[in-house]
Structure 1
Amino acid sequence: MASHLSMTTAEFDQQVLQSDVPVLVDFWAEWCGPCKAIGPSIEQLAVDYAGRAKVVKIDVDSEGDLAQRYGIMSIPALVVFKGGKEVDRMVGAAPKPQIAALIDRAL
């Protein structure tokens, strides 16, 4: 089930690195239980922060180069980009308020 938040490597540079608002990137995979567990929270945060921040999902199986570029070793990995640079990172599943705090720190 592909989410509307899903993105390819080609879109990443434009949508994430050149974004004028902070971007939360969820590196995940279909086979990853914890990734699926936080999926609904990620989708809800995309709605909650619409206009103030972006939320995107990167499937590490189909976009392995991107995962490698950012040294993603275990998933889920949540990485916040601001002004084209990584400013925050959290590895592992976490409750929605904890994920929201990642975005809040970048706003």
Structure 2
Amino acid sequence: MTTIDDVAYRTIDGITLLARLYRPDTDGPIKWMIDVHGGAWGSGDRLNNAVIHADLAAHGVGVCALDFRLSDEAQYPAMVDDVSYGIRWFKAQAKTLDVEMSMLGALGSSSGAQQMG
């Protein structure tokens, strides 16, 4: 059974950014993907690829899906800074989440792929 949690990873300029963690029910270190959604920098959130995230977790891969400030909330490069912060935050949680750091991957669609690239 997959555990799904929304966790605040950053509060900046009065905006709380969430990470959705899909943690598979497996023993030992877990392979993880960090996903950043698309939306042309101005729409979407960590739930955009929820179907993909759930499927990955069902097959033993954890997913950390990050929110970031959108273009109507902040100007570039704030979004990139949020994602960078989120990645560092996730890595700081590695021990608690049983992250297998040698098996940590990145996933992004559209503008999210630009940020992960």
TM-score normalised by length of structure 2: 0.35
The structure that has the greater radius of gyration is 2
* TM-score in terms of structure 1 length: 0.37
The structure whose residues are more often helix, as a share, is 1
